[in-house]
Amino acid sequence: MIVMVLVFSVVGCSTSNQKVAAVDTKKQDVVKADGSSGKEPPPTKKKAPIKIGFCPTAMNTHYQVIINGVQQEIDANGGKNFAELIIQAPSGQSAGAEQVNIVEGWIQQGIDVIAIATANDNAMEPVFAKAAEKGIPIFEFNMPVVASTNPYYISNVGYDQREAGKAIGEWMVNAFKDQPTNIAVLEGLPGVHNTERYGAFKEAIKDHPNLKIVASQPADWVRDKGQSVTENMLSANQNIDVLWGIYDEMALGGLTAVKARGLLNKIKIVGYDNTPDAYKAIKRKEMSATVDTAPKEMGRNIVKAIKKYVIGGEMVPKVINSKVVVYDQTNIDKFDVSEYEYVKK
């Protein structure tokens, strides 16, 4: 029987701005009252130190900040006496086969727990099942829950990507009010991350006809492609008022193209994720806004959830989300820059 379950408990020792989102289990096979499917490995009480395999979709600025949070929380729990962190990433966002090989290698090595961000966890289901058979729990992070039907992961740790996309749309509604505004969008690679962010943004502005999307092209999540795609957009459309990059790296590439044409006073640059370079660009008044998705807190929450489940032998919520905040030039000084850094104990 397919049911929907809302889970409102939080991971022990949670930070003050952590919240636990409702669990959408519509697509899972059979769901228990705690949000689990019954196919996940049960909680254990392993003795420290444990080995944690950490696999992002690729290495970039956002994931480095998540790693900083992971490492700092490991330090807070005893460092090497608590856990050994093994980081391995595929060569790019679309290299799903490489991720499968990474996880299969860890399974053969008998690693204690895996934390993974993947572009398609449904495609990863067979290897997740192998991990479950070996009693290796898998924690997802930085991934939209909505498209998941994978019954083998323990918890999804991150933030609500639709909420973040909606927040940027609402910022534009408030910033431009009734002013006619042409928006160009730099999309990421096709997939659920792009769909969730962009879909929520369009939903937020749909009742405001003055906000018009006049161009939208993929820039593959990277800065150089953001620059080249923006150059093409500017050549094809002379009436762009706002450039929104669905990830800050693309927005920063777009910023370079806009500056090269001397259009910075005409075109507003908006991003997503609040990376360190985006923060600096807002401080310089070259970017207008971005949405902070709390990556360092995400890293801390991953380790807290792993500790509770793998060492403490306790259940954790199926979804653990951090709060998102839009920063612009009115509130950027309130952001704590230590949330980017690994502060060694």
Sequence-distant (≥ 6) Cβ neighbours of residue 291 within 8 angstroms: 164, 167, 168, 171, 271, 272, 273, 274, 324, 325, 326, 327
Does the pLDDT value for residue 32 go beyond 70? no
Torsional sign, CA 102, 108, 111, 114: positive
**pTM exceeding 0.85:** no
Assign a CATH topology to domain 162-292: Rossmann fold (3.40.50)
Side-chain-side CA neighbours of residue 326 (13 Å) = 19
pLDDT of residue 148: 67
Give the bridge partners for 159, in sequence order: 322
Domain ranges of the chain: 162-292
* 276-302 CB burial, b ≥16 within 10 A, e <16: bbbbebbeeeebbbbbbbbbbbbbbbb
- Tens-digit pLDDT profile for residues 150-179: 899 999 999 999 999 999 999 999 999 999
Single-letter amino acid code for the residue at 254: G
Mean pLDDT of 280-300: 97
Q: Is 306 helix (H, G, I), strand (E, B) or coil?
A: helix
pLDDT of residue 147: 58
**What is the spatial distance between Cα 267 and Cα 184, in angstroms, rounded to a whole number?**
10
